[in-house]
Structure 1
């Protein structure tokens, strides 16, 4: 992961405005193209991590996939359907879908990273940090910050965040609701630094904050 610090056109790829990024699509998630090894919703932990990086990194136009729970032994299986072959309705309970629909776009970790991308806007990458081969963190100017950990030990570091001083909700583990964080939080000091902890064995070994999820700032919404 540490080599991703200049991911994009510097790798010889097309310019950002000519690219659509995606982790999977309706073809390659079934093994059609992609030469195998494509991440899909069937592997939620690495899938959420990869999607988070895609949405946090300022390259290309991001495309989010939303799937259904097809028969993995039948790569041409259609969507959930009734006995008369009519498509089943999508049932929604908060940010989770049922009736055979996966709805990755509603997963909190992905939904909130879309807000992260919107809040970051055109801000450039700053404060790149690498703790090991598979531990990275970076800011998007003074708008947003993310840390990802795929090593077998935690990130416990005081890192330059670059955001205005204050308390921010980690939008991976929760939301900003009624003026407080439902998950973890990060406190940025007056110099722009913060103590960051990202565990290695958690369900989602990453952390993300942005100015739209700052506690006590009524001017910010996301």
Structure 2
């Protein structure tokens, strides 16, 4: 929900009171949110990530936390999501899913409508993927708890792949011959695979300095090409915009910056060039030719079946003819 603002107005003109937990436009009231008692801390905020109750019942960086176990709260969420489905939306990314109880999400997802037959086949269910940051570092909430509810982000995929392409100690390309579940990753049919996302390309979330981004085009292209050719998970391609990085002490002081804007804070249009690149500081990783070539020829299985791991840091994939 909303962050640390006393009284504000939403984009549709409805007002809310953060302090009193009053959101009349929904409506939500104080009884619809977790309290210090249900959270278990005096501050009402997460203080211990090794405590699952705190992770899921307490406020994250000051954001009001709805109690999704309440039927009324579930009903309002389902109502909103189903309205979007009626508009033609095909699915949903569940941000910060680790801060929600899986059993509550299961109830909400089960009540979603099938996708609109104006755009999709009958009885097509919404596509759902859940963002669960889990680096196997001993936190109380793990990605494994969200199996069976939709795809799950596999953050270890991109961070490990980045470490290999960066030639970190003992991280060799020849080890990729069984990249996937044998590495402790989620089952392939439940995983969302990605090289980077909007958070960790800015140093947030997970992966640290191992994450590859468009700022390192050569290594990044190789990693994305491998992801698209390798039969693990559902690959997700990033599409970014540039910002002026200002790295001090290992942290980017400009990581907060939003998309390219003009002097009046209007978002700049995407300018597309014949060479598949973009202008106005839009990166458009998704338009690069090698991705289009892979997708057009439907040869991913052929490529990976015939991949040759020739040496310590050399892997070969045959060309599509």
Q: Shorter-chain TM-score: what band?
A: 0.5 to 0.7
Residues 1:136 and 1:28: Cα distance change in structure 2 (over 3 Å): same
What TM-score do the two structures reach when normalised by structure 2?
0.41
* 1:71 Cα deviation after fit: 1.9
Q: Deviations over 1:164-212 (max 9, x none)?
A: xxxxxxxxxxxxxxxxxxxxxxxxxxxxxxxxxxxxxxxxxxxx522xx
Write the distance in 2 (CA, Å) between the matches of 1:8 and 1:35.
Answer: 17
Write the distance in 2 (CA, Å) between the matches of 1:23 and 1:114.
Answer: 18
Write the distance in 2 (CA, Å) between the matches of 1:62 and 1:13.
Answer: 14
2:178 is the alignment partner of 1:6: yes
Q: Deviations over 1:58-80 (max 9, x none)?
A: 00000000111112120011111
**Is the Cα–Cα contact under 8 Å of residues 48 and 110 in structure 1 kept in the other structure?**
no
Partner of 1:87: 267
Partner of 2:230: 57
Write the distance in 2 (CA, Å) between the matches of 1:42 and 1:119.
Answer: 29
Partner of 2:287: 106
Aligned residues: 140
Residues 1:34 and 1:101: Cα distance change in structure 2 (over 3 Å): same
* 1:15 Cα deviation after fit: 1.2
2:126 is the alignment partner of 1:126: no
> Per residue, is there more helix in 1 or in 2?
2
Residues 1:111 and 1:126: Cα distance change in structure 2 (over 3 Å): closer
Write the distance in 1 (CA, Å) between the matches of 2:281 and 2:304.
Answer: 38
**Which stretch of the first structure deviates more once superposed, 106-115 or 63-72?**
106-115
Residues 1:49 and 1:78: Cα distance change in structure 2 (over 3 Å): same
Gaps of 5+ in 2: 1-172, 247-253
Q: Deviations over 1:84-122 (max 9, x none)?
A: 101000111121100111111112233333445x3335x
> Per residue, is there more strand in 1 or in 2?
1
Write the distance in 1 (CA, Å) between the matches of 2:207 and 2:183.
Answer: 20
SS in structure 1 opposite 2:227? helix
Residues 1:92 and 1:71: Cα distance change in structure 2 (over 3 Å): same
Partner of 1:21: 193
* Highest RCO, 1 vs 2 (Cα 8 Å, sep ≥ 6): 1
Residues 1:56 and 1:92: Cα distance change in structure 2 (over 3 Å): same
Partner of 1:75: 255
Runs of 4+ in 1 over 4 A off after TM superposition: none
Write the distance in 2 (CA, Å) between the matches of 1:92 and 1:127.
Answer: 35
Gaps of 5+ in 1: 138-145, 147-207, 215-222
Write the distance in 2 (CA, Å) between the matches of 1:27 and 1:102.
Answer: 16
Partner of 2:108: none
